[in-house]
Structure 1
């Protein structure tokens, strides 16, 4: 990893941690408003999403809205054998009662023994640290999303990043051969589409 990338990661992690509770709630509400009019979201029956844990865009209202719209909701679970993500369908009851296990990395995971391959999803709402104007995404550094998406058919699922406005960076990020680009990005201020 280059010094510039390491610095960018450090700076954005810090910025993300400093977002106030009020601002987090505002950002989630604004993103949900935008998401409701995204055609790929309206059409999606199977939606993969994350449980926020590190200052990412919060997802509780988005998950509740998915249930309200009768969409199937899936959360990621790390498969220890190959360090890829599998997607576990959760119920509204399970979500509201917070029936999750705590992963050593600090996030919550659904309690399950098996999950679906990512290609089962119609839409994947993804967390990120940074994204540029070409859809290049920088995650937390574990490579879980990149490894998982490398094994999917080209156009499935539709990959939509969720980000605070400061996570959309003006400089072009270096895209390594294993990096999996986004199809779109939602921030509280805008909706961007990318050519993959």
Structure 2
């Protein structure tokens, strides 16, 4: 099945990102660096798409950090900051009881489960309400991806980026959980390939 290219933007930095904390589905705001990264992503998108930048659909996770990134990106492009859609299926992976912790804290407080996750990061689901595996996130986003029929700009999260790459054949389930997902950059996904711009 031939798919339209996606221009994927991970939200800008939050204080929890800077501290290495698992945000999951906690609503955390962008920090000053994150606001700058949103504008930077807009400039990169303008360089990539040129005059077509205003004609594409724009779709974001409904979480605050993604909405603020989308609005900053669109403002940098000279577009109406509010003229985009949100979709619940783009929310970040749920880390359950681990949300708010750093990986170091998880390994110290829950070593057996942390080791179990290390053995199979794609399929492992943390403990606690709302927790998900990357495989579960991939199932959640697949119907959304299947419905996209033209080039689209998406602003979402690192875990969602991993699930999207695997779903689109741009990364394997083994490599995706270990990949760095950059902030302030554009991940171009087209024809089963990936490239950072």
TM-score by length of 1: 0.38
**Larger proportion of strand:** 1
**Larger proportion of helix:** 2
